[in-house]
Structure 1
Amino acid sequence: MAAYTKTALIKDVAEQLGTTTATTTRVLDAILAQIIGKTQDGENVTLKGFGSFRMRESAARQGRNPHTGETMEIPASRRLAFKASKARS
């Protein structure tokens, strides 16, 4: 099964709404920027009936270089996490 890309999503939404792909691209980019910005500020973003986005913290930990086998420190990091609503699971 092929991946559904951002380009395909924009094309389909533009067709459905009767807008240009340029307008749809700007709208989608603005929505994604808001979600990322709010979660980076520590807020959870919930879209009722769809799911929620939040930043997830990963603690620093010991890892191993797969090429050399050498032990190394993997630094703490943050990543965007999505959890689908129960209606979508």
Structure 2
Amino acid sequence: MAKNFSKSNLIDAVANKTGFAKTNVQEMVEALIAEITIQAANGATVNVTGLGRFQQKTRKAREGRNPATGATVQIPESQYLAFKPTKPTKA
């Protein structure tokens, strides 16, 4: 198995297992990713049984340093999409 498994690898694998056309699988995968992103951005927790949980989280504002100059910089609060795998998928 490959170390890096990209979205195109996922599309190919699902197309091979299901017999669906790659273009149809690509549309489904992209729709799935878009819907997870939209729902999480709207504050929902998206649970995919057997895979994990997607949730929008907030990273607090903090102070950092510019590595080139050593100057102190303020890093603003930011949002990110967090993923927590279910127990069966943990390595």
The two structures share one fold, judged by TM-score above 0.5: yes
In the alignment, what sits opposite 2:24? 23
Unmatched tracts of structure 2, length 5 or more: none
Q: What is the CA RMSD across the aligned residues, in angstroms?
A: 1.0
In the alignment, what sits opposite 1:47? 48
Cα distance in 1 for partners of 2:13, 2:49 equals 22
Over the matched positions of the two proteins, sequence identity in percent amounts to 35
Question: CA shift at 1:48, angstroms?
Answer: 1.4
Question: CA shift at 1:26, angstroms?
Answer: 0.1
Letter paired with 1:39: A
Question: CA shift at 1:37, angstroms?
Answer: 0.3
- Once superposed, which parts of structure 1, at least 4 consecutive aligned residues long, lie more than 3 Å away? none
Query: Mapping of 1:7-22 within 5 angstroms?
Result: 7-22=8-23
Unmatched tracts of structure 1, length 5 or more: none
Cα distance in 1 for partners of 2:52, 2:45 equals 11
How many positions carry a matched residue from both structures? 89
Question: CA shift at 1:50, angstroms?
Answer: 1.4
Query: Mapping of 1:54-65 within 5 angstroms?
Result: 54-65=55-66
TM-score by length of 2: 0.93
